[in-house]
Amino acid sequence: MTKPKPKPKPGMNSKLNCPSCGTRFFSDETDAMPFCCQRCRLIDLGRWLDEEIGMPFEGEPGDVPVEHRNGDPEARADD
């Protein structure tokens, strides 16, 4: 008779998918969580910094995202 495999504890050595490249890896195999390696972590950071990805705008209808607003002319020191 074979013993049933013990169930893994949540978060302990779980098999995950890298959000950058999709590679399946065990959580204890990397120090770049939630990525499979430091390279994928840096690729993701580059995507954020280049604004390829970001947080969705959740303002009210008619609101303009901050990056698209005109600055207040009275607040400018260079005028």
Binding-site residues for Zn(2+), in ranges, read: 18, 21, 36, 40
Q: 34 and 26 in contact (C-beta within 8 Å)?
A: no
| b/e map 49-69, b = 16+ CB within 10 Å | eeeeeeeeeeeeeeeeeeeee
Taking only Cα atoms into account, the Rg of the chain, rounded to an integer number of angstroms, comes to 22
- Helix ranges, the chain (H): 38-49
Annotated binding site: 18, 21, 36, 40
